[in-house]
Chain A
Amino acid sequence: MSSTVTAPHAPVVDERVAKRNPFQKLMARPEVGALVGAVALFVFFASVAPTFTQPNALATVLYGSSTIGIMAVGVSLLMIGGEFDLSTGVAVISSALTAALFSWYFSMNAWVGVGVALVISLAIGFINGWILIKTKLPSFIVTLASFLMLTGLNLALTRAVGGSVSSPSIAKLDGFESARAVFASSITIGGVELKITIFYWILLVAVASWVLLRTKVGNWIFAVGGDDNAALAVGVPVTKTKIGLFMAVGFCGWLLGMHNLFAFDAVQSGEGVGNEFLYIIAAVIGGCLLTGGYGSAVGGAIGAFIFGMANKGIVYAQWNPDWFKFFLGLMLLLATIVNLIVKRRADASK
């Protein structure tokens, strides 16, 4: 596997040379390293575990990928915008807990809780962004703080309101079934049961790609991540763009949180810790630069897919799942090396 994720053959680009051919153009895309890795990984697991390529197995892989991928969309955009969010893992759970506790405590329709959770998720994103802009602290510190605070709030408030480490069951509330249909149902296509999150994931990736490449806001996201002083100097609303990105991450967290809640009927308050790294890893494997200004939503999706394949593929190959984290680390290392080469090339004549 390691030999497959190689650097694109870096052509020494000179502005006076003739047009690059389509192959070179493809090689210059941010997600190319991840794409090569994904194909290699797929071929690898398909050969060692024949069951891996069966439709049902693939649906399972896609489902696993989608639960990472939904968040990876927001996190990728944020990283292209030059920031991190370490609070995403627990923010997903905060959102689910808000919906569960609110509608249970006031015995309201489940949809009311869903609405309140959306407001809270967007507010968490807004506050992260606002503190970042006002204090000019690195996002690592700001979101590390919110990660810790949310972790504590999740545990403390769940116990204070519901009296347990897990949120009370909301299965009997009005609106639960319809909310479950929206957030956690399955759609059967050709005899294969596909979880609805897969479709949300694809939709989010499509919307994010469109925003990123074909709208003003997308241009601003690249600019604030690439050089926020330069962006400010030419009139880009840097503050709004950054806060908006954190809120977009909040929205993704809300969507995944609602899925987690309605897939069952309760949420464990201590969950989610550590997941923030999975989202960041997916974005980085997908070609987003840690320093911002470069990457793609599709790349993040491929990163999530690689993650899903490695996660489930090891099970289908009947290996010890202990190896999973090792693979993840290796892929992360290789992907960042590829990204580094890309960045050096782009900066070559700076």
Chain B
Amino acid sequence: MISKQKMKVVYGLMVYFLVVGVLCYAAFPVSPPEEPMRIMFKVTAGKVLFDHYAHTSETAYGLSCWDCHHHPLDDDAALIACGECHTANETAEQPPDICGDCHEPDEIEDTPIIKRSDAFHQGCIECHQAFEAGPIECAACHMMM
């Protein structure tokens, strides 16, 4: 049997850990940095972990933001998630909502926007081929089973 004195210590420790746990969860939530470090794309062909930091860091590949975020060129408005414009499915009906931030509807009525998977495949593979660096095979990016 555990003595009452020891049980008080046990209960005290339990309350202590509970308070510390709740406080740490509440006070130090894990929030995404302003500029992504790595992005996990969850797609049917298998997840892709894209190292955003390695692509942009001067000590690694040192790409300019506008090498990938291409529209509008050299404008901070382009620094948004790729999927905002390049949606998951082919959209023939109407352009994504975000286009309306800068354009009138009739101005972009017939503007083709390729879907997200095509944009990634095109953008990544062309760049990797041009620099003769980086993967171009499916299984070199996608975590395939």
Q: Do A and B form a real pair?
A: no
